[in-house]
Structure 1
Amino acid sequence: MTLPLLPPAAPGVDWTALQNFAALRGQFRVSLTPRCNLQCWFCHNEGDVPPPATHADRTLQPRHRELHADDYVSVLQAMVDVGLRRVYFTGGEPLASPLARPVLTRLPDPGADGSYTLITNGSLVRKHQDWLAATSVDKVKVSLHYFSDASLYEIANSRVGIGVILDGIEAAREAFERVELNTLLQRENAHEILPILDYALERRLPVQFIELVDTDFNADHRDSAISADSIIKHLRSLTSDERTEIAGVGQGRRVFRVDGVEIDVIHKGLGRHHVGQCGTCPLRLQCVEGLWALRLDHAGGIQPCLLREDLRLDVRDLLGDSGDVLTAAVAQHLAAFTEGTL
């Protein structure tokens, strides 16, 4: 990609880390709400208090919302201007937020190499289909960790019904050219992995299968983790088109192409990849990702890591300033992170 022209303001700012992150197509993940209508047991809620924790103990509440729609749009414009053009909207469930429509219908142009992806559980897509179809969202990624009412209840503690989820996928397909699925491999859905794969292939939907990685977010369910070896073996029986990707940061993955449909598997056996401060981080052994995304939360914080609250940068006081001030602060924060000086 072509590196952006950086703002002339803020002399002395070290833009190197932010430029490199943008050049490597790092993600900018934007959480519109911590709330969700499902309660998946493995949810990390982008670093906030997960819905299952709140359900179990009402004293455990996520951060209060501090941002308004205008704030989100301003931050998006500023970050797009400095090259962070792979934007993912998350939650909780982003379509459960009252800000979903006023934000997603006002997205700045991300440029020719940019994209906007909506990550959703699918249950509310049909309800919002009409206005969603008119947005600049490029792709919808639906989390499909269940394939029956029974597994939906066991995994997400919900009786909404799998039919609602599957109808949401169809609604997304009607409105968007690019729809993908992702599925966490676990004991609770092990018997449904091949049916999910068949469902995806029949509809020519790319799907990602993900091995569970131990973190504090899922410590009570470590026995639910299952290996990806079985799905990898099955995929190899369907195709010889396989490649391995271990570049950059985060988890390595195996990528298969079956009849032109891309299926990838996040496979722990390929290792994890870290940068900068991660090298000496005391939580590195529990780390899922390394630095592959910057996250903006609904309370006005930007952070490069889910496990380190001390790395969260509060940008609320910068929202009334020019975008140059905000991006300079983020650039300095990211430089300090990668150099290990935070």
Structure 2
Amino acid sequence: MSGPLADEFGREVTGVRVSLTDRCNFDCVYCHNEGLGDTRGPMEPSEDEMDTDDVVRFLEVVEGYGVDSVKFTGGEPMLRQDLEEIIRRTPDSMEVSMTTNGTFLPGRAEALKEAGLDRVNVSQDALDPEEFAAVTKSGAYEQVLAGVEAALDAGLAPVKLNMVVFEHTAGYVEGMVDHVARNDGLQLQLIEYMPELTGKPEWNIDIQRVHDWLAEIADRVEHREMHDRKRYFINDDGNAPEVDLDGGAVDADHPDAAGTGMVEIVDPVENESFCANCGRVRVTHEGYLKGCLNRNDDLRSMGEMSRAEIAETFEAVVANRVPYYGEYLIENDDGEYEFNEKYLGTTPASSAD
């Protein structure tokens, strides 16, 4: 191939996000399982999961299309006992990262690093065990902390902590920002809550308030090309201002100091700029491709996952991408989401195999 595939809006696809399983040992209240909804089933491996060879074959094919990065997700990807083998067999040209809840990193982080894992994101929505348990429905708080330490010790720094920001966690953001500013090797990724995927719009908060607060306390702000994201570098003097993300005032007089903690916001909801810079295609654990997290009407099976079928499906999914889901999936007067009829003729639900 001469270069990465581009969709009709000029976005080159250079990354893939591969779900290895829908199984998970957590039961997070906000989970949408890569946009598929709550599909979690028994904890035993399913015959529907792509096997090791399927995953590797897919990566080898899309490498030929200029894909140079892969992120392994789930469910909880570390429930796959072949994870190290999958990473070891991933094409050398690809950067390899993983999103995990961290509970299985102790004892496996070094092996994952040796296999070729470059980076890791660990889901951590609170710094208090009880608050953490309320969001994740898990008592594994100490295991997650141990997992973060294991990742740092294995050389997987910086470890990026993932935190979904919604009604349950808004009050924890300040503490989490201070936490990453104080601790070397940690970064924070604040993820906008997606009410249209979880069915709980009343849990939503205004993510712009988080942006505004971070802009006030940041030592500097940078832009990341991917998704046009902003990166806020926060001081570590321990004096982060108090903030009420549900409507209180922001202390604009907080003194700047040398920023050490990097905080990034993932805010795709009806965000044209975010989607305009997206170069990623997703793969479900069952071997379906999807062009956008927030679309399931365009799911396309890779069949028996021969190289020809993989290539044909990948090309079709890239060609079928829409400009941004805030235009494709729109909110009506009743606060419900529906498809924009403009796109229904070109991307019918019947196109899913």
Shorter-chain TM-score: what band? 0.7 to 0.9
C-alpha distance after superposition, 1:124-183 (max 9, x if no partner): 1113223112121111111111222211221111122x2211111111111113321121
Q: CA deviation at 1:307?
A: 4.2
Check whether the contact 1:119–1:143 (CA below 8 A) recurs between aligned residues. yes
What letter is aligned with 1:304? G
Q: CA deviation at 1:189?
A: 2.3
User: Does residue 1:223 correspond to 2:202, yes or no?
Assistant: yes
Partner of 1:155: 135
Residues in 2 aligned to 1:5 and 1:232: alpha-carbon distance in whole angstroms: 39
User: Does residue 1:257 correspond to 2:271, yes or no?
Assistant: no
The unaligned stretches of length 5 or more in structure 1 are 8-14, 276-288
- Number of equivalenced pairs: 300
C-alpha distance after superposition, 1:189-226 (max 9, x if no partner): 233222211221122322121221321x3213x23222
Instruction: Give TM-score scaled by structure 1 length.
Output: 0.76
Partner of 1:5: 2
What letter is aligned with 1:327? A
Check whether the contact 2:37–2:198 (CA below 8 A) recurs between aligned residues. no
Q: What does 1:163-242 correspond to in 2, within 5 Å? A: 163-175=142-154, 176-204=156-184, 205-215=186-196, 217-220=197-200, 222-229=201-208, 231-242=210-221
User: Does residue 1:17 correspond to 2:1, yes or no?
Assistant: no
Residues in 1 aligned to 2:19 and 2:188: alpha-carbon distance in whole angstroms: 22
Residues in 2 aligned to 1:271 and 1:338: alpha-carbon distance in whole angstroms: 13
Match of 1:326 among 310, 316, 327: 310
What letter is aligned with 1:38? F
Check whether the contact 2:165–2:191 (CA below 8 A) recurs between aligned residues. yes
Q: CA deviation at 1:334?
A: 2.1
Partner of 1:98: 81
Partner of 1:88: 71
Q: CA deviation at 1:248?
A: 7.0
Q: CA deviation at 1:122?
A: 1.0
Q: 1:306 to 1:290 in 2, by over 3 A?
A: farther
Question: Percent identity at matched positions?
Answer: 23
Q: CA deviation at 1:328?
A: 3.6
Residues in 2 aligned to 1:125 and 1:232: alpha-carbon distance in whole angstroms: 31
Q: What does 1:27-176 correspond to in 2, within 5 Å? A: 27-50=15-38, 64-110=47-93, 114-160=94-140, 162-175=141-154, 176=156
Q: 1:238 to 1:97 in 2, by over 3 A?
A: same
Judge which range, 258-267 or 115-124, deviates more: 258-267
Q: CA deviation at 1:293?
A: 2.7
Partner of 1:285: none
